[in-house]
Amino acid sequence: MKRMRIALALLILLGSFSVSASELDDAEALVQPGLPTAHFNLGSSYYSGKGTPQNYKEALKWFKASAEKGNSNAQRALAVMYYRGEGITQDYREAAKWFVVSAEQGNEGAQYYLGVIHYEGEGTPQDYKTAHMWWNLAAANGHEGAKTNRDKVAETMTPADISEAQQMAADWVKAHP
């Protein structure tokens, strides 16, 4: 428990100060057995370059460790890296897989991106109804851009398609209480 507290304290400091490579190695050693949140925070530091030089490969490693332990923010971050090809070969299907895992936990950012990939047909067939559904869910969870995109795609849909997309969203909510 003491090691986890120290690791979390070091991770908080990573965002506030520059740290030396040896201090970063110490923080990594402490979070190896740590919590998914600690792994996510370390991945975020590497991804953004705050407190350490930006390193997408290291960010990917820590996001994946956290994502595999169920952290929805890490799952979304990992999906974004696959989607953009940051530190890894771009892979829309792998991105979609991780976005779904995160979205199923109610992560509005992942729900937003699922709307994008269904709208664009990236890694999945283009489907405006499914895009509308995901943006509707993300908007209901507070994502600002999702409402705009949902309303924009609705302009290209028939009333029957909009109704079906809304029903799909309602069914999804019932299945994911």
Give the model confidence (pLDDT) of 142-151 as tens digits.
999 999 999 9
User: What are the phi and psi torsion angles at 136 (to 5°)?
Assistant: -65, -45
Which pLDDT does position 15 carry in this prediction?
46
Produce one character per residue of 128-142: b if its CB has 16 or more CB atoms within 10 Å, e if not.
Answer: bbbbbbbbbbbbbee
Q: Are 56 and 47 in contact (CB under 8 A)?
A: yes
- 96/161 same-domain check: yes
42-74 burial string, b = 16+ CB within 10 Å, else e?
bbbbbbeeebbeebbebbbbbbbbbbeeebbbb
**Is residue 61 located within the same domain as residue 92?**
no
150 and 99 share one domain: yes
Q: Which two tokens stand for residue 108?
A: 């509005």
CATH code of the domain in which 129 resides: 1.25.40.10
- Chosen domain end from 69, 94, 117: 69
- How many domains, the chain? 2
CB atoms under 10 Å from CB of 163, counted, come to 12
Residue 20 sits at φ, ψ, to 5 deg, of: -80, 165
Residues 6+ apart with CB under 8 A from 25: none
pLDDT in tens, 83-142: 999 999 999 999 999 999 999 999 999 999 999 999 999 988 999 999 999 999 999 999
Structural tokens at position 140 = 């209901």
Average pLDDT over every residue of 56-66: 95
pLDDT at position 25, please? 55
Domain that holds residue 19: 1-69
| Confidence band, pLDDT 50/70/90 cuts, at residue 36 | confident
- Residue 51's pLDDT is 86
- Residue 24's pLDDT band, with cuts at 50, 70 and 90, is low
